[in-house]
A and B are shown apart, each in its own frame.
Chain A
Amino acid sequence: MIEFRDVAYALPNGQPLLSGLNLQVQRGETLVLLGRSGSGKTTTLKLVNRLLTPTGGEVRVNGVATAESDVIRLRRSIGYVIQDVGLFPHFTVERNIGLVPRIEGWTAERIHLRVKELLQMVGLEEQMASRYPHQLSGGQRQRVGVARALAADPSLLLMDEPFGALDALTRDQLQREFLSLQRRLGKTVVFVTHDLREALRLGSRIALMDAGRLVTVLSPEDFLRSREPLAAAYVQAFGDGLDSAANRGGS
């Protein structure tokens, strides 16, 4: 579905952000890009919908190199969710969700029905449709963000730390809903996070990135057993958190 072939990306001033990336994302899987900030995971994501164009190698989506495809068509065929949500503050929830269908020329009635369906799908009440983003909680906004990305029914979703800014309980709930939604819809998802717990929970495979390079790609089970130093360090840090909490409880 997505293929990175020896992809490199450098800033206009020559500073490399990503190099030698070879990676394939299979149809229907959730590939998690895990890494620290600055590891190149968001850059990787933006290369898919060509918010960035590779400076070396090529990225192919459905067999076509992004550099050769019509960028507007490409982006409209891919759902995109970001951490800051980026809802349009001057649009109601309904207009936010219905934006891509509207510019794609759907009829008003079809958009209305689709919005209704999507609101239900992401667990929002129907009367939310007429609200403005500033009237919603963080969790509700993120749900609208997901609904908006799903509006034109793309087969591919890019999610850049979508739950990163939420409190732990809301995040947990949205992760759970993401899983059940994903089971139902079977989208291909590329998901960026720095949180191992989230990666283990949501990913069918985890691509670990560091300093602009892909370190390894593993299933969640293999990730926990991996001897690769960085992967092991992540697992160690994750375990330490739980251990020290448990020990403090015991003493």
Chain B
Amino acid sequence: MNLFHFLWQNHTQVLELTLEHLWLVGISTLLAVLIGIPLGIVSAHWPVWNKPVLGTTNIIQTIPSLALFGFLLPVPWLGDHADRLAILALTLYALLPVIRNTDTGIRGVDPAVVEAGRGMGLTGSQLLVQVQLPLALSVILSGVRVAVVVSVGLATIAAAIGAGGLGEFIFRGLAMVNNQLILAGAIPAAVLALSADFGLGWLEKRLRPR
């Protein structure tokens, strides 16, 4: 049985798992953006916070993903809902690139522009919203892009704890020693990652200040 034939025969399931996969990645990225951008702003503005914030997220990054899923499993509210657990873990991994790029992007804004803004009497928040964030946007977006691509890959492991997604095919294929089944999960995941990378890359280029 060839791969395309398999995908076609099981297209409802493929579609379902792809959507599940997108849901896991989408929600966790959204959360990472909502938490990470404010933390990045804090770490760019108050140097005292720079090391603790980036250090913590760096440490999270070093925990092997399978181990993190395992650690979180006994946690009461999370353990019963594999998808919540997966979303939390994916969010934690996505934080680092978002925070780091927000921090770098804001710090990277031309000091002359910031000084001019301050000298003209912009308040701190006006400076942030009208000048620093817009000018840092393409750098922030490239962090989000890295987060999404990494999450698409990591989310396949979420199937190990029963959170669904394209990893289901992969784990089932591994158990049954069926390469076609593994590919049926791996190829759509790769396509997702590539299209997210391409789409966000395009957006990033569009938003880059001249």
- Mark A residues whose CB is within 8 Å of B: 49, 51, 72-77, 80, 82, 84-90, 99-100, 103, 132, 134, 145, 148-149, 158
B123 A72 Cβ-Cβ under 8 A: yes
B126 A85 Cβ-Cβ under 8 A: no
Given A89-B209, A89-B210, A90-B134, does the pair A84, B112 have CB atoms closer than 8 Å? yes
B115 A90 Cβ-Cβ under 8 A: no
B120-143 with Cβ < 8 A to chain A: 120-123, 126, 130-131, 134-135
CB nearest to A151 among chain B residues: B120
**What is the interface of chain B mostly: helix, strand, loop, or mixed?**
helix
B135 A86 Cβ-Cβ under 8 A: no
CA distance A86 to B118 in the complex (A): 11
Which residues from B are CB-within-8-Å of A145? 116
CB nearest to A77 among chain B residues: B121
A76 B209 Cβ-Cβ under 8 A: no
B120 A75 Cβ-Cβ under 8 A: yes
CB nearest to B120 among chain A residues: A100
A100 B119 Cβ-Cβ under 8 A: no
In the assembled complex, the CB of A138 is this many whole angstroms from the nearest CB of chain B, namely 13
Given A103-B126, A132-B210, A134-B210, does the pair A87, B113 have CB atoms closer than 8 Å? yes
B130-159 with Cβ < 8 A to chain A: 130-131, 134-135
CB nearest to A149 among chain B residues: B120
CA distance A83 to B120 in the complex (A): 15
- Specify which of A73, A84, A89 is in contact with B121 (CB 8 Å cutoff): A73
B170-209 with Cβ < 8 A to chain A: 209
CA distance A72 to B117 in the complex (A): 11
CA distance A191 to B120 in the complex (A): 17
B112 A51 Cβ-Cβ under 8 A: no
A49 B119 Cβ-Cβ under 8 A: yes
Which residues from A are CB-within-8-Å of B117? 86, 88
Most buried by A among B114, B115, B123: B115
B112 A80 Cβ-Cβ under 8 A: no
- Specify which of B110, B113, B116, B121 is in contact with A74 (CB 8 Å cutoff): B121
In the assembled complex, the CB of A41 is this many whole angstroms from the nearest CB of chain B, namely 16
Interface size on B, residues (CB 8 A): 20
B134 A85 Cβ-Cβ under 8 A: no
Most buried by B among A89, A100, A158: A89
B112 A90 Cβ-Cβ under 8 A: no
A87 B116 Cβ-Cβ under 8 A: yes
In the assembled complex, the CB of B119 is this many whole angstroms from the nearest CB of chain A, namely 4
CA distance A132 to B112 in the complex (A): 17
Supplied contacts A82-B116, A82-B119, 17 more A-B pairs, CB within 8 Å: A51-B115, A73-B121, A75-B119, A76-B121, A86-B115, A86-B116, A87-B113, A88-B116, A88-B117, A88-B130, A88-B135, A89-B135, A89-B209, A99-B122, A99-B130, A100-B121, A132-B210
CA distance A9 to B126 in the complex (A): 28
Supply 11 A–B pairs (Cβ within 8 Å), ascending by A: A51-B118, A72-B121, A75-B121, A76-B120, A86-B114, A86-B116, A87-B116, A89-B209, A90-B135, A99-B122, A134-B210
Which residues from B are CB-within-8-Å of A86? 110, 112-117
B94-119 contact mask (Cβ, 8 Å, vs A): 1 or 0:
00000000000000001011111111
Which residues from B are CB-within-8-Å of A80? 116, 119-120
CA distance A87 to B113 in the complex (A): 6
Which residues from A are CB-within-8-Å of B110? 84, 86, 89
CA distance A85 to B113 in the complex (A): 8
